[in-house]
Each structure stands twice: as structure tokens, then as C-alpha cells.
Amino acid sequence: MSDTFGPSALATPANAVTLARLLVSPVLVLLILTTGPSTWLLVAVWIACSGSDGVDGFVARRTGATRSGAFLDPLADKVLVLGAMAALASIGEFGWLPVILIALREVAMSAFRTMAGRRGISIPARPTAKAKTLVQDVVVLLALLPPVGLHHAFLVRDVLWFAVALTLYTGFEYARDGERLKRIKSSPALTGDGAVSSEQGTSVSAS
């Protein structure tokens, strides 16, 4: 296809969608802090922002995945979700402890990605990591949704802690991947469960 972009491309339609999500994230945070936790305006903005993650992924598959997109997409997801959660904690809708636990895992995952990238290792998302992202998106949506957030705080709390458990579980999965990375470094020919080394690079699942 003539409109397919190479791995080193920066100005791509998928990256444009991802950057838009990054730019809107602080606007969402400001709206949560100033308009209250549960309004239909916030619901609309949240659905547009979180839904755009699927849009840029679809566009990237059609026009070509890039290294910049592989970096920007998870970054935009983390900024959006953690920004919304921190804003909800600031106004008392979320507890700070679950938000901090989720944030620590996401920061650790970013460090893991950086370490893997320096070794030429691509990190596709695990199914459990995709489920983790979905649950995080859902709990923020529930907190922003007026019929739920205003009247069913217990439901939001329970789903939030489920999100914490799932988030930490995926972190433990990647701790095991870290051990495999050490073996890959010492044995370039190593192949196995989730880790394959070749002349074209190594793949380890993560998100």
C-alpha cells in the first residue's frame, strides 16, 4: 500500500490520534477537578478519550506500525488513566492507596519497557494486560457516570480494588519476564515461552 508508513515514521495518522489523547488528558483532569466527579460531559469526554485507543490501534494496523507509536500509545494510556484517577482521588471519589498502587505498577512497567527496548526487544501486550486496561477504563467511567458515581460508591470502590488486583497481577507476570530477559542476555540463542531471540530481535509480552 502506498500509504503505509515505515517503522521510523513520526507523522502518521495513528500518532496524531495518540497525541490528541495526550493533549486532551489535562483538560479531562481539569474538568474533573472543577465540575465535580459525575457529569454527562465528563462521561462523553472520557468515552472519546479512552475509545480513541482502539482507533489509533486500528489505524496503525492499516497504515503501518511505528516505533514512535509503540512508545506513545502506552504512554498516552497511562497519562489518561492515571491523570483521571489522581483527579478523582483528589476530590475524594477514589482512595489514594489503590491509585498509588496502580501508578507504581505503571511506572515500573515503563521502566521495564525502556530496559527491554535498549536490548532490541519488542513488547506486545498480553491478553491480561489488555483486560487490565479495560477494567481501569471501566472503573473511571463508573465514577464519572451520574447514575452510578453519585449513588453507588461501594460499586466503584469494589471495581477499583479489582483493577488494582489485576494490575498488580500483570506486574508479577512481567517480573517473570524480567528473569527471562536476564537469560536472553546471557544466551542469545534462547527460545521459549514468550521469549524468542533471533537476528531480527526478541519479543517479550508486556503492557
Residue with cell 489514594: 96
3-state secondary structure of 66: coil
Structural domains of the chain, ranges and CATH numbers in brackets: 13-203 (1.20.120)
Mean pLDDT of 22-33: 93
Residue with cell 521510523: 8
Residue 194 has pLDDT above 60, yes or no: no
C-alpha cell at 50: 479512552
pLDDT, residue 197, reads 37
Q: Which has the higher per-residue pLDDT, 177 or 90?
A: 90
Residue with cell 452510578: 148
For residue range 15-27, list pLDDT tens digits in order: 888 888 899 999 9
Residue 202 has pLDDT above 50, yes or no: no
pLDDT, residue 135, reads 95
Sign of CA dihedral 177, 179, 186, 190: negative
Mean pLDDT of 83-111: 93
Order of strands, sheet of 195-198, starting from the edge strand that comes earlier in the sequence: 121-122, 201-203, 195-198, 191-192
d(CA 12, CA 164): 34
pLDDT, residue 142, reads 93
- Say if strands 195-198 and 191-192 run parallel, antiparallel, or are unpaired: antiparallel
pLDDT, residue 61, reads 76
For residue range 109-166, list pLDDT tens digits in order: 878 777 766 776 655 667 888 899 899 999 999 999 998 876 678 899 999 999 999 9
CB atoms within 10 A of CB 139: 27
Mean pLDDT of 41-70: 81
Name the phi and psi angles at 196, rounded to 5: -130, 125
Mean pLDDT of 93-119: 86
Residue 192 has pLDDT above 70, yes or no: no
